[in-house]
């Protein structure tokens, strides 16, 4: 529906604008103001009425139709005011062709229609784009599945034909067709599009899998447990739709002003007609005076007051890394009480890095890192990449290796300078039946309390070092929390990670509220909890599981590197993936809203001044506003509104009180992070990218 409305307004805007050009060129008033002339020819006097009638019939009638519900609800707004203005101008201007009136309003009629068509085209385009989130969700599911028959063969069937209890084969790199349980095989499954978490999840027989996730290198045989509307992804889709539908209709400032102006204009016109009839007599001059009042109320400036600010606002936001998809969200951002951040991929890089190191006696860190990076040189696992990046960051050379071997589920091994070196997690130590020295064990225990993963380096059967691995906190995350606190905005974090991991990140960043171990289908409930406390809530996320929460929030903000669904579900997209833009969004919202208010004051102020003059309140002293002068005032009001909107470009979006470096914050004790020390841990956390 919205796509059809968007196309309708776009088409009518362009056609009506082209048809308006002859009307403007042959307007005597515009020729006099601008000092130009166009050649006259037999019949040229009919150009204005003929083209104005066409523009009214083609571009103006939709507004008359949209005004009907407002009148039916007894809640006149912009549509009613526009309809009244264009109808009065249309009828009076046609009458002026055959009756002796002072002037017509053809050019005012067509320009008002053109401006309103443009504004509604932009609005419908935004609405249509916002509705595409459900389509993006549906595209995650594969169309077909390989069902295993009773004789062990496979057959390709549509996913819609799967039933509970079916056994399907999921090959490496393929999407899981529906929710189920692993019957045979083991593999790592990428669930980031559902959970938003970066690390693939190891799946063994008996583990649950979610439809729409992507299988890794192994083959899986999955017993289907839920299909169609019963799947996790379908549930998320329902939440997105429900949350979007639950949003109340926010009345735009211009609509409210138009409603007030409608009553002012009608009342003023009625009083004008009665007063002039009583004072003089009812004649053509009285009709002309009433029409002048009604036409002067036509909202040229009011129609531009909001769209001009929105256009400049959107341009400034884009230059500062923000794509505004919903103008109402920009208005609401100025009043946000709390902003909820998803952790992985938003406050963190979504990639693991080395955040701490501990070595056995007689072993220095560079030696341990050299051995680990050498053995991990041929591995593509994310932990291997993190170790290699740590070595490169510190300028550590990498030795040649021989006899490399991947030990599935345990780690890797190779020979370095004749020594057998293993690198892996706790399962590796169990496999090697090796005891961990007490100092390395304490380091591992403390890292585990902080939600960090521990990787060991074992040389010739003896553990010689341990690395603490954690998701890397973004540089900008430290600053955005401080910036939002300075703007009196509460900061919360939402994650599916364990409580230990969540608390460690929250303590490091100084976050106020933490929601940990949250299931994908429950994330929007956490947003609702804050809203039920009377808070206006913003949500920042990047995964499919964030889509319902993004939609539930008063202002949904997506990290641009996130999934298409998160982007399409959001009101604002951070295209440069910079969380600091959240603070800039709040500041720009405050400035933009102030400009909107100022423009409405100018636009309405023109009417407050011009309508009484048009009605003739100063006629006893010889001051009577003619239609021509009223048109000049109308144009002046439009120019003032346009200039004031342009002043928004001068707003400084830098965040006061913040330096380019992150302020130091309380850090963990030295013995908790190994030989790097507390500050060393923080530096490594922020540098390993």
Active site residues: 342
Tokens describing residue 1 = 């529906």
Neighbour count for residue 197 (Cβ, 10 Å): 21
The structure tokens 């401006």 sit at 115
Among 134, 165, 332, 348, smallest CA distance to 241 is for 134
What does the H/E/C string look like for 230-249?
Answer: HCHHHHHHHHHHHHHHHCCC
Among 531, 451, 551, 546, smallest CA distance to 490 is for 531
**Sign of the four-CA dihedral 414, 415, 420, 423:** negative
Which residues fall within 8 angstroms of residue 272, CB to CB, at 6 or more apart? 289, 290, 293, 614, 615, 616
**HSE value, Cβ hemisphere, 13 Å, CA-based, for 105:** 31
Tokens describing residue 661 = 């470096």
In order, the DSSP letters of 533-563 are: TT--EEEEE-SGGGHHHHHHSSEEEEETTS-
The structure tokens 């992985």 sit at 344
Task: Determine the distance from the C-alpha atom of residue 382 to the mean position of all C-alpha atoms in its chain, rounded to a whole number.
Answer: 29
Among 250, 258, 300, smallest CA distance to 123 is for 250
Alpha-carbon distance 116 to 123, whole Å?
11
Which residues fall within 8 angstroms of residue 488, CB to CB, at 6 or more apart? none
Residue 89, CA distances (Å) to 9, 56, 248, 271 in order: 22, 10, 35, 19
């Amino acid at each position: 529906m919205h796509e059809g409305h968007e196309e309708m307004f776009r088409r009518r805007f362009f056609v009506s604008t082209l048809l308006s050009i002859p009307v403007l060129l042959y307007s005597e008033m515009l020729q006099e103001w601008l000092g130009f002339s166009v050649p006259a020819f037999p019949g040229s006097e009919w150009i204005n009425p003929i083209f104005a009638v066409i523009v009214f019939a083609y571009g103006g009638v939709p507004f008359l139709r949209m005004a009907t519900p407002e009148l039916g609800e007894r809640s006149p707004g912009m549509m009613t005011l526009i309809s009244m203005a264009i109808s009065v101008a249309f009828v009076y201007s046609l009458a002026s062709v055959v009756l002796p009136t002072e002037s017509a309003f053809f050019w005012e009629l067509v320009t008002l229609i053109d401006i309103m068509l443009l504004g509604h085209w932009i609005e419908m385009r935004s609405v249509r784009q916002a509705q595409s989130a459900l389509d993006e969700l549906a595209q995650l599911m594969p169309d077909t599945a390989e069902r295993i028959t009773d004789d062990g063969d496979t057959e390709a069937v549509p996913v819609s034909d799967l039933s509970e209890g079916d056994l399907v084969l999921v090959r490496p790199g393929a999407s899981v067709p529906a929710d189920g349980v692993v019957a045979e095989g083991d593999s790592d499954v990428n669930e980031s599009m559902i959970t938003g978490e970066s690390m693939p999840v190891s799946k063994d027989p008996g583990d649950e899998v979610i439809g729409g996730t992507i299988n890794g290198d192994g083959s899986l045989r999955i017993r289907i447990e839920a299909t169609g509307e019963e799947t996790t992804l379908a549930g998320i889709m329902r939440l997105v739709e429900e949350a979007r539908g639950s949003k109340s209709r926010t009345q735009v400032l211009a609509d409210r002003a138009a409603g007030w102006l409608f009553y002012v204009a009608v009342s003023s016109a009625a009083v004008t007609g009665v007063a002039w009839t009583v004072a003089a007599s009812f004649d053509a001059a009285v009709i002309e005076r009433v029409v002048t009042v009604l036409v002067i109320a036509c909202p040229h400036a009011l129609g531009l007051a909001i769209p001009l600010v929105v256009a400049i606002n959107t341009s400034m936001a884009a230059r500062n890394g923000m794509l505004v998809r919903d103008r109402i969200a920009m208005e609401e951002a100025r009043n946000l009480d709390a902003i909820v951040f998803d952790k992985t991929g938003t406050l963190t890089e979504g990639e693991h890095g080395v955040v701490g190191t501990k070595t056995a006696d007689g072993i220095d860190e560079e030696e341990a890192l050299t051995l680990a990076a050498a053995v991990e040189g041929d591995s593509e696992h994310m932990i291997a990449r993190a170790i290699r990046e740590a070595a490169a960051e510190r300028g550590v050379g990498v030795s040649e290796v021989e006899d490399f071997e991947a030990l599935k589920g345990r780690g890797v091994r190779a020979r370095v300078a004749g020594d057998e070196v293993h690198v892996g997690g706790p399962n590796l130590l169990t496999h090697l039946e090796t005891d961990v020295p007490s100092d390395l064990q304490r380091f591992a225990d403390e890292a585990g309390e902080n939600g960090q993963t521990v990787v060991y380096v074992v040389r010739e059967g003896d553990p010689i070092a341990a690395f603490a691995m954690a998701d890397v906190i973004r540089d900008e995350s430290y600053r955005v929390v401080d910036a939002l606190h300075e703007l009196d905005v509460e900061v919360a974090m939402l994650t599916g990670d364990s409580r230990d991991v969540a608390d460690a990140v929250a303590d490091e960043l100084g976050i106020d509220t933490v929601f940990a171990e949250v299931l994908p289908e429950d994330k929007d409930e956490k947003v609702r909890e804050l809203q039920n406390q009377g808070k206006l809530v913003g949500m920042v996320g990047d995964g499919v599981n964030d889509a319902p929460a993004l939609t539930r929030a008063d202002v949904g903000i997506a990290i641009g590197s996130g999934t298409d669904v998160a982007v399409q579900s959001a009101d604002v997209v951070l295209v440069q993936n910079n969380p600091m833009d959240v603070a800039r969004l709040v500041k720009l919202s405050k400035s933009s809203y102030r400009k909107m208010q100022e423009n409405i004051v100018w636009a309405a102020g023109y009417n407050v001044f011009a309508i009484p003059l048009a009605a003739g309140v100063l006629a006893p002293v010889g001051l009577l506003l003619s239609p021509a002068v009223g048109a000049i005032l109308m144009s002046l009001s439009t120019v003032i509104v346009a200039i004031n909107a342009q002043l928004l470009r001068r707003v400084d979006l830098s965040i006061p009180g913040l330096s380019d470096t992150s302020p130091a914050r309380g850090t963990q004790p030295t013995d908790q992070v190994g030989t790097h020390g507390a500050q060393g841990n923080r530096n490594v956390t922020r540098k390993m990218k």
